[in-house]
Chains A and B, each alone.
Chain A
Amino acid sequence: MKLASRVRLHAVGLALHLGLFVAMGVLVAWPALRKVDRALAPLQGIFLDIADRQTRLVNQLRDLELHITTVPTPVHDHFIPPHPGAERSLLGRYAQVLAPHAVTALSDLEETFSRIEIGIAEARALIELGDTTAAQAKLRKIAQDRGGLLEQTVLAQALVLEQGIMAREGLHTATWWLLRLALAWLVSGVALLAVVLYDVQRRVLQPVHELDVAVRRIAEGDWRRPVATGGPPDELGTLAGHFNEMADALRRRAGRHAQLVTAGELLAGVAHELNNPLQAIRGTAELNVAPDGHPEDWQDVLDQARRASKLVQDLLRFVRPRLGGPERVDPNAAVGDALDLVRFQFRVDGIAVELRRQAGLPPVYIDPDELVGALVNLLGNAHRVLQTHAGERRITIATTVHGDRVRVQIADSGPGIPPDLRERIFNPFFSTTQGGAGLGLAVARDALREVGGDLHLDATTFGASFTIELPVAHLGDPGETLFTHGPDPDSALEGLSILVVDDEEPIRRVLARYLGALGADVHIADGGSAMAALKTTTFDLVILDLRMPDVDGVDVYRYLRRAHPDLAGRTIFLSGDISHLGADLGVPSSRILLKPVELDRLRGAVSEILDLAGRTV
């Protein structure tokens, strides 16, 4: 049964219950009350009729007596008798509604009334005939009857009154029946209400509760148990079915998401494995770019290695969101990073990119990954549009500064956005492409707005144009990171004792050669041997790889903090895997350099950290 039908059934049931008892009340009480009414209704009439007739007789008698005493001479015109007022007998009016003994009393009273009335009429006639003596004798006889009349009147009225009192019994019966009926109605009403509430609990509240529990379970990540659908095929059953379908869809989507995450994690591992040889290649190339060799070849090796390492880092940054938070970011650099990620696809699909970057842009204050993500999203949208566009395929990227705001405008030469969709494109889950999640623009705009920026669609007549606005970073903004300075050309590392800890021999060797060439006394070790070296030798600086088998960099750093706290403050960390950087590793994130790192940058970092530690290089 449908829920609406069930609700109607409940309403009809309750209405019938009420109606049934009202009808029963009427059926039970009505006859009893009607009986009481019939018994009581004539009582007033009887009293009034008796009193009226008696009053008229008394008045006529008084007039007659007065006439005899004051006007002895009859004037018959004055004696046309008034209407006697007995057009209907008392018996005819009330006998049917009175008890038998009251009827008898009323009949006797009626006879007495008639006798007195005819007596008065006869006395009048005698007076008219001049026989006052006979008239007076007649009046005396009437006076005797009046005594009997009073007695009969009292008796009749008492009997009538008794009938009224007896009628009270009927009233009591009706009241008692109504009371019992009301009690029955209350009891059955409570029972019916309990049934209705039970049904509502079972058919409505319980399924809703199950849905609520299922929603919470899914929110907590438990996809295993859908909502039970074995109940009645009502609206809530249908809703449960739809909910289960939705849960299945979400589960499948979550599975795909998990696959992507796994892919990202795999990519991180692969990147680590790739960064290490790249570090070695880059270092070797840098060291061998010398005038006496074939510098062109080594320069090519170096450029390609730089390019490969940058691609890997950009890709990792995109697929592995980090928890670094906002920092000062060069907008032009962010645009370059984003372009690097999509440049290949643009080239494949013949999409020209026109880049107009204003030189000397001030930094903006934002999480660089989110800025790159927003730019990649906009570029990706433009790519999808232009991919199938028959006309010119061009994307223009322009960076400008207006007052204290930096703008990045991305415009394409595609068909543009229809007017009816312009208001909706920033809505979550709105997508114009098959299979699109519809979250990209919404997420990007939210991220930009969080740091005081914005993303909006420009009003254009040609193609589509989006503009990112970001506030210029101020000096007081937090997030200034270390190792942003370039190498000091005058700095040398002579006299410094540096421990390079890495599990990759080529990396250790390249770094040792580089630092040694700058005059440092370089010791190399892997995770396991680093501990021993630290116990026996005093170092000015440690360059420590974070990810190593067996004893990793975090373990070594813990040892340093415990055994050589000063040296722990002069430790530079290297990592080829940024996937773990979001977690709290227990190392200062500001001192982490990502592999592959340029050797000159490493040199700058060494100088910087020694300056902070108050050590002279």
Chain B
Amino acid sequence: MSAQHSKALPDLGGVLAPKFEAQRKLALIVAVVGLVGAGAMAGITGNMRLLQFSWLYGCMYFLTLGLGALFFVQLQHLTRAGWSVVVRRIAEHVASALPVVALLLAPLVIATLMGNGDLFKWANLDLIRNDPDESISGTLHLYEHKAPYLNGTFFLVRFAIYVVVWFGLVRFFRTRSLQQDVDGDPMHTVKMVRIAAPGMFLFALSLTFAAFDFMMSLDAPWFSTIWGVYTFAGAFMSFMSLLGLLALRSESKGYLRGLVTPEHYHDIGKLMFAFVFFWSYIAFSQFVLQWYADIPEETLWYKHRMEGGWANLSWVLLFGHIFIPFLGLLSRHVKRNRAGLRFWACWLLCIQAVDLYWVIMPNYDHHMHLPVMELFCLLAVGGVFAFVALGSAAGRNLTPVKDPRLPESLAFTNI
């Protein structure tokens, strides 16, 4: 593909930089409704443990979306991609909500630091020691073994590192990109390419250990080396779906009309499809190895998810996360069709919520319940997430207008 395939940027007359005032207000209302709902439920039932689990769940859902966005931005620079330039700014704005969502985890981290074992049992070993259930008190030695890693202080330190790394990376890419809108200096692109490579290292390590800390250690005796990859697969898949939805919405609102074409949707759809498959591959690898070897400390994790109501959710994942979207997204016509892509993007965003629910909530209770508190927390965090991302986007170009590869992106066609 050479740069001669140029296509002039159509004159959009300021539509490219909407203010999003109504949308931000709506996001704030959603956040408040979620917060009030969750607070009221916690106040009435007095179930602070459920509140903590639900809050973690809500945060993890949007954290993975933000991480997916950060990965997308870095990947496009690292591979010097041309096609994606027109939608890259959307990812930059979504990623800018990542450090804020991470900070929303702070109350949980502080509670853990203060020895509250509601969420992370390892925060208070007395809970394990005095548990009447022998299958829990019998694992005390494992908790003691892991204490040098799983303890409140180190947890806080790691959490601080994640926030700093994410904040630094997100800020770097967003500021450079916005600066380029003003001065049009191609050097910004060169520098972003240079930072993307070491940035990927930081990203991979921070995502992996954050996944270990906030999800794997909920069931501290359990372990899986692939856990970081599993979390990443879901994160990127869900972000690509979100990106598809946001691009569709921006186009229908007129912000990106004439810029985003079915060619771009096709590529977004391809990445969604690829990561449906990749997630299936990683999830199957983890499952089949633990299922086949049948070692108690590993299979217990799956056993909890195959009993009670959780078995139903496992089936939902098997079909809803693997077979159905795989067949649904197989055809190129679906990926190029706006309605088709919108449907599957919504589907995958829902299934990511199911996946994380299935990962986190069995640690709360071995029996499934109606997820009311969880939905309130999802709304609360989602409202904040949207508010921050929209705030980042407000009044700024929704596409990097002076990116040197924008003409290539606009003229891009699939084979």
Q: Note whether A and B form a binding pair.
A: no
